A and B are shown apart, each in its own frame.
Chain A
Amino acid sequence: MSRRKRMMEDLDQDIRDFIERETQDNIERGMPPEEARYAALRKFGNVTQVKEDTREVWSLVWLEQLWQDVRHAVRQLGRTPGFAAMAVLTLALGIGATTAIFTVVNAVLLRPLPYPHAEELVYVHEILDNYGATGVAGVSEFAAWRDQSRTLNPVAAYTDSWFNLAGGGDPERITAGLATSAFFSLLGVRPLTGRLFLPEEDRPGGPPVAVLSEALWKRRYRGEASVIGSSVTLDGKAYTVAGVLPRTFVLPADSKIDYALWVPLIANQTGAGPMGVVRVIGRLRAGMRLETARSELNTILRSTRAGGPEGWVKSVTLSTWQEQITQKSRLSLLLFLGAVGFLLLIACVNVANLLLSHAATRQKEMAVRLAVGAGTRRIIRQLLTESGLLALLGGVLGLALAHSAKDLLVTFISSNLPALEPIRLDYRVLAFCLALAVVTGLAFGVAPALQASRVSLNEVLKEAKRSASEPRSGMPFRDLLLISETALAMMLLVGGGLLFRSFLRVRGIDLGFKSKNVLSMTVDLTPSEYTTPNVQAAFFQQLMEKIRGLEGVQAVAGSSCPPLGNRETSVTTRLNVEGQGVDVPDARTTAVSPDYFRAMGIPLMQGRYFTEADHESSLNVAIVDESFARRYCPGGKCPGGRIVSWVRRREWLTIVGVVANARDSAEAEPHPKVYLPFSQASEPYMTMLVRTAGNPKLWTSAVRSQVASVDKNQPPHDLMTLEDLRTQSLTPRRVSVLLVGAFAALGLILASVGIYGVVSYSVSQRTHEIGIRMALGAARGDVLKVVSGPRLRAVLIGTGLGVAASIGLTRFLQSMLFDVKPTDPATFVSVSFILLAVAWLACYIPARRATKVDPMVALRHE
């Protein structure tokens, strides 16, 4: 039995007892029993009332009153379905969009990585003195940390590589992961079948073993258990299959690599990424801090410096793995969240405006309720319940909206996201949405409620009709709302505008080569089959001739590191220019076929192009680009000069020509370039660039089949048009522009709806006044000015404030802009113009109605 119920029973007994005693007293005073009882009852008073009052002591009065308020609010909203629908939809839009973005933010930035005790996982990488953060670490440093660290346990490393997989079907180019033996246990991964790497397999000369991904196992080996213990051929070498990894194992790296299989890292070190660098992760021992681990790893690093390459000063930096993974997407996600937050604020302001107009039509109701004794606080509570109910309805609808929009959104912005667990609505998103609804309910409800409860009883009850001119106290507040929503819309527009201009700038950049109608295709030769530079060069020579023979092919060229490519091995090398005595720290060297410059449309500035005469046994030659020439050649005249490369054979190369600059990508800082003839600097990989007479996609299968006709065991990959590659490289930027642009457009629409609403309300309130003015001879223009003037002034103030706030805020956008200043005047002027034009329309359309008022009708209206 509840305490309240027990107490009420006690009370009953006590009241009976009280009355009996009083009766007794009365009898003792000489009253007849009947009368004595009656007098006692009369003295006690209203028993029911006493019980009610006492019950209230024990009851949750506010809960019961809340229930009353909710029922009343439901009835109220049902009476004005148009208003309710408008408010709920506006809120649903704001809350839904915010929740959808938060869902992504939650999944990417807030939810821990899908590993046991993920918060202890740290990422270790090195900083080079003249270069900055590398994102990777050397294998030898890793080994030292693994063996000596007392703050991290264990330390593991991984990287990725490509192999030509043969046996069990057509040869295919696969991406393989290389991992040390501690890697899988560090991440708590168990094999689906078989086993993972043993420590003795993870050392130089260890036995060749591989672990398949579930996808590859199912696809290529039909999921047969017999594959365990059998062998697969990778780059011509046999590997024993040790086990299969479950599908649930994902590596949330920032690039979406689809690992087909894994091999031990140390045993396959030759393939361990360019120049023997790996990604290092570790688990922080209990109680250890990042800072402690960092200084320890730095100490270990310094002690192993002895054998390192000269001239590079390294240090270590540590971050949590999650931070490292989400670093790139954090800024754009926060930008989206900020933009959508502004949108939500505009929605709130709009609903506050709606509520104000709504409250004005209910002034009489409020006055009557006040007159019959309702307290101001009670009325405010009632109104807040109504706005809270609106917000909750909006929240529920918004949640549904977010749920349906989420997959679309994820597909849309996935280019900005690390590959994580499926993005879903979890309890945190639900809590966020609920909190949003409650806060917005209060935010847009408080001011109107306060205003509505401050009703002047006399005036309202006396006046049977609407007041002749608008109430003085009501309007300034509405104008404040207009000012704030205009300012918010302005800020959104400025953000969207700056991103859009940056996008146009990046898209408009001249890359320095002709990307139209070029198909690119990469072939990585199996090293065991193409062992010497000569055979490698011969393969590509033959392939290019075959492709050149295809009908409609205008030119074919090869490059070891083509522009717009995703090959991370574009070699940054140190060069020494003869007679200069200085190192060139940041030049990129690329091996190209003689036709490369003609096929790509890169003009020659000095000297000559490569020719077939530049072969393996002739003079070592090089071509540099203009930026190299300007910086390192005396007087910009290069031909005849000589350079030596540290990575190449350390032989002198004679510069024979200078070509125009060609950029690797639109956004990256262009580096000075050195081109070498592929016959003298062959690589086991080459990207074919095929210029075609029409849409290059039509040549895809023909070009692919030429590879098979030369050697069917060498799988081509990444068949793409350069145009597509260019478009792809713009995707993250396009997504930001479209998303922020959409929020800005929605903000503008909501703001103009708000302006429209305020002006039409004011017109409808002032019909009588306008009628008088017109009867007295006011012209249309005067009427327009009276009705829309103050609103336009508010819009102007709002725009000004929006500009000022934007100037303060856009610097946070700086890193997302390209060749556009955060305070770009052109952007500010053009978006102000758009905003003012739309605002003026939103004012003018309803205001025009005022000029059509018939004075006779308006005056009779009274």
Chain B
Amino acid sequence: MSTKEQRERIELLQGTLDLLILRTLRLGPTHGHAIAKAIEFRSEDVLQVEQGSLYPALHRLIKRGWISVQDGTSENNRRAKFYRLTARGRRQLEVETGKWDKLAGAIARILRPAESEGES
């Protein structure tokens, strides 16, 4: 892992990891390793998931009732813990996504006023 690579990577904002986990689980139940890999892969390696924050985040979501955990068998027939989005988690994801869009849009308008004005 080069230093350049690390500099290009962005630390996740507080709470964003929760959103990404929920989004990832919307595709179907999966295990912890796959969640981390999926986030890294889908962000083209820009977002690095620290294991130090992944597990506390997963358990925080379980505690809030947005995801559940159960035993399952993975593709190569190994037993693993599978995390699954609950109905409440699905609703929460919509709310959070909406909020995120607003936030991102607002920040973008402030940072790039000319562009957004030009576009409109």
Contact = CB atoms under 8 A, between A and B. Distances in A.
A and B interact: yes
Interface of A: 7, 10-11, 13-15, 17-18, 20-22, 43-46, 49-51, 53-54, 56-58
Interface stretch (B7-15, B16-24, B52-60): B52-60
A15 B58 CA distance: 12
Given A10-B69, A10-B81, A17-B80, A57 B59 contact: yes
A58 B59 contact: yes
Nearest to A22: B33
B50 A45 contact: yes
A11 B60 CA distance: 13
Given A54-B59, A57-B63, A58-B59, A45 B52 contact: yes
B6 interface: no
Contacts of A49: 52
Given A7-B59, A54-B59, A58-B59, A18 B52 contact: no
B62 interface: yes
Contacts of A10: 69, 81
Interface residues of B, number: 19
A225 B50 CA distance: 89
A330 B52 CA distance: 64
Nearest to B36: A18
Given A7-B59, A57-B60, A17 B81 contact: yes
Interface string B37-53: 00000000000001111
Contact of B33 (A18, A45, A57): A18
Most chain-A Cβ atoms within 10 A of its Cβ — which of B33, B53, B63?
B33
B32 interface: yes
A807 B45 CA distance: 76
B78 interface: yes
Contacts of A50: 51-52, 55-56
B32 A17 contact: yes
B26 interface: no
Nearest to A13: B81
A53 B55 contact: yes
B31 interface: yes
B63 A58 contact: yes
B51 A44 contact: yes
Given A17-B33, A18-B33, A57-B59, A46 B69 contact: no
Interface string B57-74: 011101100000100000
Contact of B81 (A14, A22, A45): A14
Contacts of B69: 10
A51 to B, nearest CB: 8
A14 B50 contact: no
Nearest to B69: A10
A11 to B, nearest CB: 6
Ordered nearest first, which 10 A-B pairs have the shortest CB separation? A21-B33, A57-B59, A53-B56, A14-B81, A18-B33, A54-B55, A44-B51, A54-B56, A54-B59, A17-B80
Nearest to B60: A57
A259 B12 CA distance: 84
Contacts of B33: 17-18, 21-22
Contact of A46 (B31, B36, B52, B59): B52
A11 B59 CA distance: 9
Given A17-B78, A58-B63, 9 more contacts: A15-B55, A17-B31, A18-B31, A18-B51, A49-B52, A53-B53, A53-B55, A53-B56, A58-B59
Contact of A11 (B36, B50, B55): B55
A699 B36 CA distance: 105
24 contacts: A11-B59, A14-B31, A14-B32, A14-B81, A15-B55, A17-B81, A18-B31, A18-B33, A18-B36, A18-B51, A20-B78, A21-B31, A22-B33, A43-B51, A45-B50, A45-B51, A46-B52, A50-B56, A51-B55, A53-B52, A53-B56, A57-B56, A57-B59, A58-B63
A581 to B, nearest CB: 91
A20 B63 CA distance: 26
Contacts of B56: 50, 53-54, 56-57
A43 B49 CA distance: 11
A50 B49 CA distance: 13
B65 to A, nearest CB: 12
B57 to A, nearest CB: 9
A167 B52 CA distance: 96
A13 B58 CA distance: 14
Contacts of B36: 18
Most chain-B Cβ atoms within 10 A of its Cβ — which of A22, A44, A45, A51?
A44
Most chain-B Cβ atoms within 10 A of its Cβ — which of A45, A46, A54?
A54
A45 B33 CA distance: 14
B23 to A, nearest CB: 20
Contacts of A7: 59, 62
A14 B82 CA distance: 9
Contacts of A51: 55
Contacts of B59: 7, 11, 54, 57-58
B95 to A, nearest CB: 21
A20 B34 CA distance: 12
A191 B81 CA distance: 73
Contacts of B81: 10, 13-14, 17
Most chain-A Cβ atoms within 10 A of its Cβ — which of B52, B58, B63?
B52
A541 to B, nearest CB: 96
A510 B68 CA distance: 88
A18 B50 CA distance: 13
A10 B82 CA distance: 10
A24 to B, nearest CB: 9
B103 to A, nearest CB: 25
Contacts of B62: 7
Contacts of A43: 51
A14 B54 CA distance: 12
Contacts of A57: 56, 59-60, 63
Nearest to A14: B81
A226 B50 CA distance: 93
B80 to A, nearest CB: 5
Contacts of B51: 18, 43-45, 50
Contacts of A56: 56
A795 to B, nearest CB: 52
Nearest to A6: B69
A57 B51 CA distance: 15
A751 to B, nearest CB: 51
Contacts of A13: 81
A20 to B, nearest CB: 8
A312 B15 CA distance: 82
Contacts of B53: 53
Contacts of A54: 55-56, 58-59
A45 B54 CA distance: 12
